[in-house]
Structure 1
Amino acid sequence: MSLQTVARKEYHQCRRSPAVLGTVSLFFLSVVFFAAIQWVPKIGQVGYSGTPRFTLALINSLGQPGAIFVPMLGLLVGYHTIAGERESGALKMMLALPHTRRDVVFGKFLGRVAVVMAVTAIAGLAVGVIALVTYAAFDVKSFVINTTIWVLYGSVYVSIAVGFSAWMESKRKALVGTVSLYALFMLGWDALMFILQLIFIGPTLPQGAQLPDVIQFAGVLNPARAFMFASRSALPAYYELTVYSESNAAFLQDWIGFPILAVWVVVPLSLGYLRFRAADIH
């Protein structure tokens, strides 16, 4: 019951944050805009499996804004949850109540995930309404699956943020950690992949060749790439919206995206909890 109490408190408290409301507003407006113009990236106009354009437009409406705002929202709602209260002294008061440290970490995670889930659901609902009114047809199955996977993807970043918040002693350190990891995922991972290529292959690939499977797997460890693999596994239409190399290796099949995302949810949160459980907050 204590876990539910913490989760409920976090959910209601987070909804009133001006920074969260601002990010949510930008996300919502972007989603509505992409849905209204029925935009499909150029790669999707070529066609891979003959997927109808309205289906591609439907799943891409969340895809373009979500790639930016979902990770940002997940980190924003989570980085200060424990570290901020530790700095202010509110955490001592919380632990003086019948809440264990496990209740605090996992309750805060569940409450903040519920915020991301609600935001994604509302954005998805807006896309659904626009699709029902203006699209030639409405692919309900693709719509539901796509929205669900986006919630899972957002949960990864909430876990990372809450894990950092539980690990660090101050809100600023938690913020630096989450922003650094976000920059690595969004900007630095390709540079890391190129460094691996330089080490094991050289500056250029032979004509018609692709990266070895092991290096490609290192790329899939990025939650953003794992999300695309998971999406292609559940929605083959995503093949028309991505350009990732294909491989016969078992560890590079599309389904591998789901266990990698699950690991990114479980590991940061667990490490943060283990550190927080042993920390002296007094």
Structure 2
Amino acid sequence: MSLYTVARDDFKNARRSYAVLGVIGVLTAIVVLIFAAEMNQYDHPYRTLFDVSFFLFLTFPIILAPLTYLSIAGDRDGGAIKYAMGLPNSRGEYVFGKLVSRLGVTLVAVALSIGVAFLFSLVTFVNAPDPVRFVKFALVSLLFAFSFVGIFVGVSAMTSKRSRAMLGVFGAYFVLVPFWFGFLPFVSLTNILSTATDLFGVTISENTGRLIQSLSPATSYLYATEIVYQGVLPTPYGSLNSNFVDPPNEIYRQFWFNALVMFAWGAVSLFAGYVSFRRSELG
């Protein structure tokens, strides 16, 4: 058995799962609903893509959780891992095969949701959608998905129980999205940094604070979507201008930097999970 075989078999099994159908269906339905809600509010579909990016930033990891957190921990907890490891394949092929299959399902979900949204906006918005912008948005969103699929599969590889995998996945989501971005008024990375700097009598510049915030894959995703709006800035939409109107001179707003952050989170997390899984006693 090879990585390809592991990925193929897992993909075949996963596509029959209600969780997989739910991920694809829910993502597509909500993205299209956002476009439907705004078709009479904005003339340009790219403005709605801006709102979709915030939806994905906040909820896409949660949508991906049922697809990924049991990818390996479920096999270990249910005993199926003994069969998989009894076949002539390495632990590395098994772990990375799981990543490929779950990422393949995610690719289908992203492509379908953005594709349907493009067709919907083509017939409902005053101005026709730009296919290049939609393709850019889909590719950036897929890279964002890779970061969290890698994190969640990595967490799954580190645990042998379903409950631990679930706690690990939602713990990772809490730290990397609401805590890191600063949604919570008292428990947030921003407040911790502020408290620490006050204790040591130092200050952190605004750019340094934003750079630290951008080191989360979720925040880096928002910055990376700036490439979608190149050529239309400034726009008639104030909220879009306030986020992207200035030239991206700071490193944390450069696309290459944010793409690297997202890729690194997914790759490093998966590798850490593989190292843990390789050393585990599978019983």
User: In 2, Cα distance between the equivalents of 1:11 and 1:249?
Assistant: 42
Q: Which residue of the partner structure matches residue 44 of structure 2?
A: 53
Q: Which residue of the partner structure matches residue 49 of structure 1?
A: none
Q: Which residue of the partner structure matches residue 130 of structure 2?
A: 139
Give ranges in structure 1 of 5+ residues lacking alignment: 46-51
Q: Percent of counterpart pairs with the same letter? A: 26
Report how far residue 269 of structure 1 moved: 0.2
| Secondary structure of residue in 2 paired with 1:280 | coil
Question: Do the aligned partners of 2:155 and 2:169 also contact (CA within 8 Å) in 1?
Answer: yes
| Secondary structure of residue in 1 paired with 2:196 | helix
Q: Which residue of the partner structure matches residue 147 of structure 2?
A: 156
Q: Which residue of the partner structure matches residue 195 of structure 2?
A: 198
User: In 2, Cα distance between the equivalents of 1:165 and 1:245?
Assistant: 40
Q: Which residue of the partner structure matches residue 83 of structure 2?
A: 93
Give per-residue Cα distances to partners, 1:97-155, cap 9 Å, x unaligned: 11110111000000000001001111111111112212221211101000111111111
Q: Which residue of the partner structure matches residue 272 of structure 2?
A: 271
Choose which of 80, 83, 88 in structure 1 pairs with 2:73.
83
| Secondary structure of residue in 1 paired with 2:103 | helix
User: In 2, Cα distance between the equivalents of 1:40 and 1:243?
Assistant: 23
Report how far residue 234 of structure 1 moved: 5.0
| Residues 232-251 of structure 1 aligned to structure 2 (within 5 Å) | 232-233=226-227, 235-236=229-230, 240=240, 243=243, 251=251
Question: Do the aligned partners of 1:197 and 1:211 also contact (CA within 8 Å) in 2?
Answer: no
Q: Which residue of the partner structure matches residue 282 of structure 2?
A: 281
User: In 1, Cα distance between the equivalents of 2:243 and 2:60?
Assistant: 21
RMSD: 2.8
Q: Per the alignment, do residues 246 and 211 of structure 1 end up closer, same or farther by CA in structure 2, a change over 3 Å counting?
A: farther
Question: Do the aligned partners of 2:121 and 2:129 also contact (CA within 8 Å) in 1?
Answer: yes
Report how far residue 219 of structure 1 moved: 0.5
Q: Which residue of the partner structure matches residue 214 of structure 1?
A: 208
Report how far residue 34 of structure 1 moved: 1.3
Give ranges in structure 2 of 5+ residues lacking alignment: 183-187, 234-238
Q: Per the alignment, do residues 233 and 199 of structure 1 end up closer, same or farther by CA in structure 2, a change over 3 Å counting?
A: farther
Is structure 2 residue 160 aligned with structure 1 residue 173?
no
Q: Which residue of the partner structure matches residue 236 of structure 2?
A: none
Choose which of 46, 49, 57 in structure 2 pairs with 1:67.
57
Q: Per the alignment, do residues 113 and 93 of structure 1 end up closer, same or farther by CA in structure 2, a change over 3 Å counting?
A: same
Question: Do the aligned partners of 1:40 and 1:53 also contact (CA within 8 Å) in 2?
Answer: no
User: In 2, Cα distance between the equivalents of 1:60 and 1:243?
Assistant: 10
| Secondary structure of residue in 1 paired with 2:71 | coil
User: In 2, Cα distance between the equivalents of 1:273 and 1:201?
Assistant: 40
Question: Do the aligned partners of 1:101 and 1:276 also contact (CA within 8 Å) in 2?
Answer: yes
Report how far residue 247 of structure 1 moved: 9.8
How many residue pairs match? The answer is 266
Is structure 2 residue 111 aligned with structure 1 residue 126?
no
User: In 1, Cα distance between the equivalents of 2:40 and 2:197?
Assistant: 36
- AA partner of residue 10 (structure 1): D
User: In 1, Cα distance between the equivalents of 2:17 and 2:57?
Assistant: 22
Question: Do the aligned partners of 1:153 and 1:227 also contact (CA within 8 Å) in 2?
Answer: yes
